[in-house]
Amino acid sequence: MSNEHRSESPRPFRPDIVAFFCNWCTYTAADLAGTSRMAYAPNVRIIRLMCSGRIDPQFVLAAFRQGADGVLIGGCHPGDCHYQEGNYKALRRYKLLRRLLKSMGIEEERLRLEWISASEGEKVKRVINEMTEELRRLGPLRLAPKPQARRTRLVPVAGGVP
Amino acid sequence: MSTHDALPNGKPRIGVYVCHCGVNIAGKIDIGVIIKSVESLPYVVCAREYKFMCSDPGQALIRKEIQELGLNRVVVASCSPLMHEPTFRRVLSEAGVNAYFFQMANIREHVSWVTTDGDAATDKAKALVAAAVRRVVLHEPLERRRVPVNPGVLVVGGGISGIHAALTLANSGKHVYLVERDPTIGGHMAQFDKTFPTLDCSACILTPKMTAVRTHPNITLLTYSEVESLEGYVGNFTARIRRKSRFVDESKCTGCGLCAEECPVTVPSEFDEGLGQRKAIYRPFPQAVPNTFTISHKGTPPCQAACPLHQNVQGYAALIARGKYREALDVILRDNPLPSVCGRICTHPCTAGCTRHRLDDPLNVPGLKRFVADWVGDYELPKPELERPERVALVGAGPAGLMCAYTLRQQGYRPIIFEALPVPGGMLAVGIPEFRLPQAVLRADIERILKTGIEIRLNRPVGKENTLEDLRRDYAAVFVGIGANVERRLSVPGEHLPGVWGGLDFLRQVNLGYSHTQLSKRVLVIGGGNSALDAARTARRCGAEDVTLVYRRTRTEMPADHAEIAAAEEEGVKLIFLTAPRAILGSEEVMGLVCQQMRLGEPDASGRPRPIPIEGSDFTLPCDAIIVTIGQTPDLHGLLERSSPLIARSGVISVDPLTLETNLPGVFAGGDCVTGPDVVVNAMAAGRKAAISIYRFVNGMDLREGREFEGPYRSSIEPDTAGFLVKKPVPMPALPVSQRQGFDEVHTGYTEALAQAEAARCLACATCCDCRLCSKVCEPRAVDYAMPDTYQDVNVGAIVLATGYKTFDPERLPIYGYGRYANVYTGLEVERLINASGPTGGEVVLRDGRTPQKVAIIHCVGSRDLNTNAYCSRVCCMYSLKLAHLIREHTGAEIYNFYIDMRTPGKGYEEFYDRLLDEGTHFIRGRVAEVTDWAITPEEEGRLVIRAEDTLIGVHRRIPVDMVVLAVGLEPQADTEDVRRTFNISCSKEGWFLERHPKLAPVSTFTDGIFVAGACQGPKDIPDCVAQAGAAAAEAMALVDRGHVELEPNTAFIAEALCSGCKTCIPLCPYSAIAFIAEKQTSEINEALCKGCGACVAACPSGAAQQHLYTDDQIYEEIKGVMAYV
């Protein structure tokens, strides 16, 4: 499950994207893409949250640490947030996080934020396809091996790091 | 893993259920592989597959295994949780496990339906199922929150859908607030003549329902109102409703209609699609509910805003156009007691704002004013309603002083005017020649003002005998309006010679009737203002044979009125430009003027190019007299007599521009003595402004408060000139030049017919012209021009949106000629033509009155076309058939239907189509290429030609017709986006409100408690609208009738032990649900207010803020899970 493990695979590089979608707009749009049978790249794994404002920057870092090559954040268009302004909070966290990622040596393009409303199934398809292509161009994300025996609050009940 | 064993309900025992969904999932994903991969995951006790997990046997399987295998957590991998999460949670509850020990993996919408490659889909599904399994381990038992529900329901939109929903709910005993933004309910259906396919009369089936709404005890009908904002959540909404002012009291109006008969303003009727007319005070149609009139008043028209006196030009223009001259004069007299004067010499700043500028030229506003003043002739000004004891002294009886005195008198004061000259009127009396403003006219206007009770003392200058200090002592307040009477001098040699006149002095002498003003042959007039032209034209009348005006810039820069320049030239005055005087020649009397040529340089402070002398260009103009008219300054000597410390700068009195108060309290000044030489209307405005200040001063009120809009301002109206024709102003009749030797007035004034024609050019920018005639005829006194918009908050538990649609604007498809050819109509327009209560009384006639012999109906205009709207509007085929039938019935015309496909699904619809086929209506399959008036054959001459392909016989056809009906499609309302945001719901990409599920929740939205009904959700016909309205009403009722709602327990909470009291979370909460508890030094979340967005959780630096159902740990496990098979 580490990056090393994957690079031994004989398959061509298949980027993996973790997507955090808000329940009201983007997750629904992804459902719409499904009901409309819009085929798109199979590389994305969608995690549902109530609001893009719920996205802790550590989720993004955790996804990269777990081997994601890219992270996609999807929220309601500005002004449309079900919770009034959660998407603005996501936006400012995203902007800072991009800078942080850059300073960590992770290409900014690996993190993407898109406003996708519930009716924009087509946009879900386009963004995921575009991002897959972009990551294919960037190649796999290679992080230094994780330091051992360091307890983090990521997995307080799991009793260790897998 | 031992920690997991100690979870609240013991060691996790997970059952995983993978749904085939027929072939929807199993056709793409290898279910066997999924099952196999799941079985090896920790804590998984069983992994099963089934064809339809959501079906009864599927649910029973889960229930059985929970009990038999002792499962305490369940994962279902199937469709979207937005679809069946509630179903499976219920299964858990039924089996005795807390519903929230459940997680769903969306392997249909997010995997099988969107992935082409089966292996990739299987991999992705494996990851999602693994994530769900890992996550569900950490789930906790949760309880749904119960909150009470307000039993009221808000219905937005009063068309047939809104009406039906409101009545259904009201009949069930719920209280309904029905909000409609138009003055009446009824919507589009009220405009229709008949309804397809039964040909029921639309009004006959609709109006009883409208009346039922009005009389229903459970319905609060709020028409002419809009929902401004919405707060709260399911069960407990608070809607703020703006009740737009209709300027008519709904509780008093009896709907008698006398007001509309009296109203002088006519505008196109929205209800008749612009084919008919309505008044500014109107009721859309006689059966309107409520049966209340409404005034459409858009604000202050641009002319009125631009006038320094804010005279109601639109008001008196409208009245003149309808022959109500006395009423027009009353409107003028509200703001202006000198109508005859202003009707002749006002420089009409109002016309600068006139909307007619966009088409042709502005109205001749002074000409209209003069007409009514002359026509009415003998009238009296209103007398004050009360008398006040305070006396106010005014210095100067010019327009500023007269206006100030009149305004004060109307407030009840007794002003007294001190005038230095032997006549009142100031510059009006002595500075304007008789042929522009006859003295008799001026005197009559002034007499009327004085007759209201104003004392005037002539030949009483303020100075040695009667000082400003004396006036301050003896009177409550003083107004100084002494004008500007000291002439500027040229300061060139020879100015003292006899034969050199000051322009004002010259005009004064002529006006006061001195006889020695007979002029010799050649006269030069120096200056470029109105006074210079007045002097030049007067000189002509005083015997001068050759009058030449000398001006140092060019014609473009002349400050004089262009009409006056033209008149002077007509009368033989010559103009010399770019010439400045250097010296006056002569020893005993004037012999000539030495001049210098000028050229134009950079603009100066006034914005006009600065004249620059050309060296060595001197030349001499021989002459016998010179009149110098280059401006005046006030004579302040008398006022400053005995050292009143009145401050003046640059020769004029300094005042506070907002209040016109001088440095001496209680002394106000205005007019030319403050501004330098200016026009009469500005002096009058200053007089009125000073009167307002004096009133406030005398009564000890704040002088400065709320005075921003006293001067000219920009109107907020954005008038639309579409549809108005170019119409040049009616020229003002004038004496022929040959008859202009004497001092007879040059302009003779409009005749009645001319005045009406000119007044009719007014575009009525504000719609209601504020003439206030309607209030005079309204017996119940329902009209209230001061009525403001009001706001009303209503508390409801559920909301039904039924905001309807708008029709497609066919001008977007120029090929069909709508707006270009008079005989191209929309379907809705033809509905009005056919309707017996429509603009033609049910006669289908063309705009020129002819009855059409051949009619073409073009289907799919704005529908099924990628250039406009891709969707089918569903109703057009049927309404086209209906119109075809009705037009034929009314006119016997031959009807051609041009269609792409006939879409007649519905009860009795196909039969109706068959009936039309039998009736002999022509049906031509093919999209119309264009509608043109370009005739080729004699038969096509004067007709509209339809060019279309007949795809059934494979030929191109040209069909000449008299009338074209465009079957326009349906579009979302123009402000859908605003409404969507107000109610926090979603729209489809076309702009229709998005239902929660197209099949299973067609009237619900993604926002709980808000339902949609009718065409705002998508195009539909009346039966479907009514059915959907009933459904929405039932859903709303199901919600509010239960008395409570259960809310998702996904609220945030603070783990007190971890909270450091940093308060980061507090400003993040949009609902102010987080409070800081000082005693504990921690934050606390009010669960009742929390909506569960999790913004605070994401920001908490110590991890103390957490969210039920979305804890950090659960999400981290999910992240790990989705990456498990990478």
Q: Which of B428, B447, B448 has the alpha carbon at shortest distance from B439?
A: B428
Q: Which of B330, B351, B347, B306 has the alpha carbon at shortest distance from B762?
A: B351
Q: Where are the beta strands (DSSP E) in B202-330?
A: 219-222, 225-233, 236-243, 266-268, 277-279, 281-282, 294-295
Chain B residue with minimum CA distance to A91: B1095
B290 in Cβ contact with B211 (< 8 Å): no
Question: So what's the pLDDT on residue B642?
Answer: 62
pLDDT of B742 above 90: no
Would you give the DSSP letter of residue B997?
A: B
Mean pLDDT for chain B overall: 92
B414 in Cβ contact with B386 (< 8 Å): no
pLDDT of B734 above 60: yes
The model's confidence at residue B3, banded by pLDDT at 50, 70 and 90, is: low
| Residue A38 CB neighbour total at 10 angstroms | 18
A11 touches chain B (CB under 8 A): no
Question: So what's the pLDDT on residue B1122?
Answer: 94
B1103 touches chain A (CB under 8 A): yes
Q: Which of B929, B988, B937 has the alpha carbon at shortest distance from B960?
A: B937
Which among B1095, B1113, B1119 has the least Cβ separation from residue A66? B1119
A105 in Cβ contact with A67 (< 8 Å): no
Question: So what's the pLDDT on residue B38?
Answer: 94
pLDDT of B730 above 80: yes
Distances (CA, A) of B96 to B41, B91, B375: 24, 9, 94
For the stretch B311-321, pLDDT in tens is 999 999 999 99
A55 touches chain B (CB under 8 A): yes
| Residue B610 CB neighbour total at 10 angstroms | 15
d(CA B223, CA B248): 13
Question: So what's the pLDDT on residue A15?
Answer: 94
d(CA B835, CA B844): 9
pLDDT of B796 above 90: yes
| Interface subset of A 94-153, CB within 8 angstroms of B | 117-120, 122, 125, 153
Would you give the DSSP letter of residue B710?
A: S
Tell me the mean pLDDT in the region B579-585: 91
Most confident of A40-49, B432-441, B615-624, B713-722: A40-49
Distances (CA, A) of B518 to B301, B521, B539: 48, 10, 8
Q: Parallel, antiparallel, or unpaired for β B486-487 and A70-75?
A: unpaired
For the stretch B846-867, pLDDT in tens is 999 999 999 999 999 999 999 9
Tell me the mean pLDDT in the region B459-480: 88
Distances (CA, A) of B367 to B358, B362, B680, B743, B1061: 21, 12, 16, 20, 76
| Interface subset of B 400-419, CB within 8 angstroms of A | none
The model's confidence at residue A150, banded by pLDDT at 50, 70 and 90, is: low
Distance of CA B1050 to the CA centre of its chain: 43
A48 touches chain B (CB under 8 A): yes
- B642 phi-psi bin (left φ>0, alpha ψ -120 to 50, beta other): left
Tell me the chain B residues in contact with residue A1 when contact means C-beta distances shorter than 8 Å. 1123-1124, 1126
A67 touches chain B (CB under 8 A): yes
Which among B1007, B1095, B1113 has the least Cβ separation from residue A156? B1113
A155 or B114, higher pLDDT: B114
Q: Read out DSSP for B72-109?
A: -EEEEEES-HHHHHHHHHHHHHHTTS-TTSEEEEE-II
State the sign of the Cα–Cα–Cα–Cα dihedral B782, B787, B789, B793: negative
d(CA B578, CA B553): 5
Chain A residue with minimum CA distance to B1123: A66
Tell me the chain A residues in contact with residue B1 when contact means C-beta distances shorter than 8 Å. 158-159
For the stretch B143-192, pLDDT in tens is 998 889 999 999 999 999 999 999 999 999 999 999 999 999 999 999 99
d(CA B117, CA B115): 6
pLDDT of A151 above 80: no
B867 touches chain A (CB under 8 A): no
A161 touches chain B (CB under 8 A): no
B811 in Cβ contact with B819 (< 8 Å): yes
List residues bridging with B266 in a β-sheet: B279
The model's confidence at residue B560, banded by pLDDT at 50, 70 and 90, is: confident
B484 in Cβ contact with B648 (< 8 Å): no
pLDDT of B782 above 70: yes
State pTM to two decimals. Answer: 0.81
Question: So what's the pLDDT on residue A143?
Answer: 82
Tell me the chain A residues in contact with residue B106 when contact means C-beta distances shorter than 8 Å. 31, 46
d(CA B314, CA B337): 18
Q: Which of B200, B48, B125 has the alpha carbon at shortest distance from B912?
A: B200
For the stretch B666-695, pLDDT in tens is 999 999 999 988 899 999 999 999 999 999
Question: So what's the pLDDT on residue A4?
Answer: 44
Which among B124, B986, B1103 has the least Cβ separation from residue A119? B986
d(CA B923, CA B1064): 70
Q: Which of B843, B839, B777, B837 has the alpha carbon at shortest distance from B286?
A: B837
Would you give the DSSP letter of residue B110?
A: I
Q: Give the HSE-up count for residue B1115: Cα atoms under 13 Å, Cβ half-sphere.
A: 30
Percent of chain B with pLDDT over 90: 78
Question: So what's the pLDDT on residue B2?
Answer: 43
For the stretch B971-1021, pLDDT in tens is 999 999 999 989 988 888 899 999 988 888 999 998 889 999 999 999 999
pLDDT of A58 above 80: yes
B233 touches chain A (CB under 8 A): no
Q: Which of B119, B87, B124 has the alpha carbon at shortest distance from B106?
A: B124
How distant is the Cα of A100 from the closest Cα of chain B, in angstroms? 16
CB within 8 A of A109, min separation 6: which ones? Answer: A70, A134, A135, A138
Q: Give the HSE-up count for residue B403: Cα atoms under 13 Å, Cβ half-sphere.
A: 30
Distances (CA, A) of B809 to B638, B806, B828, B1059: 70, 9, 11, 59
d(CA A107, CA A99): 10
Chain A residue with minimum CA distance to B114: A39
Chain A interface, best mutation among B24, B108, B110, B1064, by max A CB count within 10 A? B110
Distance of CA B1075 to the CA centre of its chain: 42
Q: Which of B213, B158, B211, B220 has the alpha carbon at shortest distance from B188?
A: B158
Domains and their CATH numbers in chain A = 14-138 (3.40.50.960)
Chain A interface, best mutation among B115, B1116, B1125, by max A CB count within 10 A? B1116
Element (H, E) at B1012: strand B1010-1012
Tell me the chain B residues in contact with residue A159 when contact means C-beta distances shorter than 8 Å. 1-3
- A86/B1110 Cβ within 8 A: no
The model's confidence at residue B1056, banded by pLDDT at 50, 70 and 90, is: very high
- A1/B1124 Cβ within 8 A: yes
A2 touches chain B (CB under 8 A): no
Tell me the mean pLDDT in the region B929-955: 95
- B114/A39 Cβ within 8 A: yes
Tell me the chain A residues in contact with residue B1092 when contact means C-beta distances shorter than 8 Å. 50
Which phi and psi angles does B1015 have, rounded to 5°?
A: -75, -5
A158 touches chain B (CB under 8 A): yes
B1097 touches chain A (CB under 8 A): yes
d(CA B662, CA B641): 17
Tell me the chain B residues in contact with residue A16 when contact means C-beta distances shorter than 8 Å. 1123, 1126
Tell me the chain B residues in contact with residue A47 when contact means C-beta distances shorter than 8 Å. 131, 1115, 1118-1119, 1122
Question: So what's the pLDDT on residue B878?
Answer: 96
3-state secondary structure of B830: helix
Which phi and psi angles does B1040 have, rounded to 5°?
A: -80, -25
Would you give the DSSP letter of residue B747?
A: B
Question: So what's the pLDDT on residue B645?
Answer: 74
How distant is the Cα of A26 from the closest Cα of chain B, in angstroms? 11
Percent of chain B with pLDDT over 70: 98
Mean pLDDT for chain A overall: 86
**Complex ipTM:** 0.88
B1033 in Cβ contact with B1008 (< 8 Å): no
In terms of C-beta density within 10 A (0-12 exposed, 13-18 middle, 19 or more buried), how is residue B818 classed? Answer: buried
3-state secondary structure of B641: coil
Would you give the DSSP letter of residue B116?
A: S
pLDDT of B229 above 80: yes
Q: Parallel, antiparallel, or unpaired for β B455-457 and B500-502?
A: unpaired
Question: So what's the pLDDT on residue B694?
Answer: 95
Question: So what's the pLDDT on residue A162?
Answer: 43
Question: So what's the pLDDT on residue B518?
Answer: 65
Tell me the mean pLDDT in the region B47-73: 95
List residues bridging with B294 in a β-sheet: B282
B1118 touches chain A (CB under 8 A): yes
A54 in Cβ contact with A81 (< 8 Å): no
